[in-house]
Amino acid sequence: MIKIVTDSTAYLPQETVLKHDIRVVPLCVHFGEEAFKEGVELSDEEFYARLGKAPVLPTTSQPSAGEFLEVFQELVDNGHEIITLTISSKLSGTWNSAMAAKEMLPEAGISVIDTLSVSVGLQMMVEAAIQSIAAGATRQEVTDQIEQIKEKMHIFFVVDTLEYLAKGGRIGNAKAFLGTVLKVKPILTIQDGAIEPMEQVRSKRKALARMLDLVEECLGEDAPRAHLALTNSLVPEEARTISRELTERLGCGEAIFSDLGPVIGTHTGPGTIGVATYV
């Protein structure tokens, strides 16, 4: 049987994890000398409460190769093949840790995929893998499918401030937007696994409206067939409104909806809204 392993930045619903026996290897958030495993030792509510009071912004770290090895070994010992999907290698060292663990089990049937994605983009790839495995696909067939989805995935997001991305070192070429007028809201994208700047808009309302335009433009006539997912940090009602507007506009099915947890929230900050889509 094929088992799925992913990391905590997929922010999978707990019912999905339990139903499909998915193994989630957590990343960590560090507040000074205190380290917390995401989703295990620190809830979203606790994290954002601490973030608002923290004198220094927290940092994050990837799981070790040993943590992946422990999960891999247990699954292999029980006769399973493994498909591992991780956050983009350009945003975290998690993929490197998973690859190092795979190399320690050279005879095992393990695929490790650098999704070049994060959050709901990663979540949608996990969901696609679940469906393919249930339909009887082989490990290679599932891996090939995820590689195809990678090529078609589009991720856009609007942040209230670039402060968190800049201080966390994940800002990439979006650093070109630093030093702009405070009220300007940047629209960013994930391109080839890294954060890239798209446009600057004068208000968040206009930035979100423009983000919807960008989603529609990238999908074109395929919009009704689009897979769609939205995420947010501390603005769920705003994100649900955007979700409704987008599904009506595109004529596609219902969107996946999730919250940004501590690790990604460390780098984006509160008030973020993101959209991931592919056909």
Q: Are residues 77 and 194 in the same domain?
A: no
Q: Which of 213, 215, 211 is nearest to 278 (CA)?
A: 215
Q: Are residues 180 and 123 in the same domain?
A: no
Does the pLDDT at position 174 exceed 80?
no
Model confidence pLDDT, tens digit, residues 112-161 = 999 999 999 999 999 999 999 999 999 999 999 999 999 999 999 999 87
The DSSP element (H or E) to which 1 belongs, if any, is: none
What's the confidence (pLDDT) of residue 181?
47
Decide if 44 is inside a domain.
Answer: no
Does the pLDDT at position 52 exceed 80?
yes
Q: How many beta carbons lie within 10 A of that of residue 220, not counting itself? A: 9
What's the confidence (pLDDT) of residue 253?
93
Q: Got the DSSP string for 104-151? A: T-TTS-EEEEE-S--THHHHHHHHHHHHHHHTT--HHHHHHHHHHHHH
Does the pLDDT at position 183 exceed 70?
no
Averaging pLDDT over each range in 37-51, 52-66, 102-116, which range is the top one? 102-116
Does the pLDDT at position 268 exceed 50?
yes
- Dist CA 61 CA 31 (whole Å): 12
The boundaries of the domain holding residue 109 are: 2-27+62-151
Does the pLDDT at position 51 exceed 60?
yes
Which of 147-161, 177-191, 239-253, 264-278 has the lowest average pLDDT? 177-191
Decide if 106 is inside a domain.
Answer: yes
**Among the three residues 120, 151, 182, which one is the final residue of a domain in this structure?**
151
Work out the average pLDDT over 40-46: 92
pLDDT band at residue 84 under the 50/70/90 scheme: very high
Q: How many beta carbons lie within 10 A of that of residue 136, not counting itself? A: 7
Q: Are residues 271 and 202 in the same domain?
A: yes
What's the confidence (pLDDT) of residue 171?
53
Number of domains in the chain: 2
Work out the average pLDDT over 34-59: 92
Decide if 36 is inside a domain.
Answer: no
Decide if 231 is inside a domain.
Answer: yes
What's the confidence (pLDDT) of residue 178?
52
47 by Cβ neighbours in 10 Å (0-12 / 13-18 / 19+) ranks as buried
Q: What does the angle CA 57 – CA 68 – CA 145 come to, to the nearest 5 degrees? A: 100
Decide if 47 is inside a domain.
Answer: no
The pLDDT > 70 percentage for the chain reads 93
Report DSSP state, residue 26.
P
- Dist CA 89 CA 216 (whole Å): 28
- Dist CA 216 CA 160 (whole Å): 22
Does the pLDDT at position 182 exceed 70?
no
Are 249 and 42 spatial neighbours (Cβ–Cβ below 8 Å)? Answer: no
The pLDDT > 90 percentage for the chain reads 82
Are 110 and 2 spatial neighbours (Cβ–Cβ below 8 Å)? Answer: no
Q: Are residues 99 and 170 in the same domain?
A: no
- Dist CA 109 CA 129 (whole Å): 16
- Dist CA 78 CA 141 (whole Å): 22
**Among the three residues 151, 168, 202, which one is the final residue of a domain in this structure?**
151
Q: Are residues 94 and 174 in the same domain?
A: no
Model confidence pLDDT, tens digit, residues 195-245 = 998 988 888 999 999 999 999 999 999 999 999 999 999 999 999 999 999
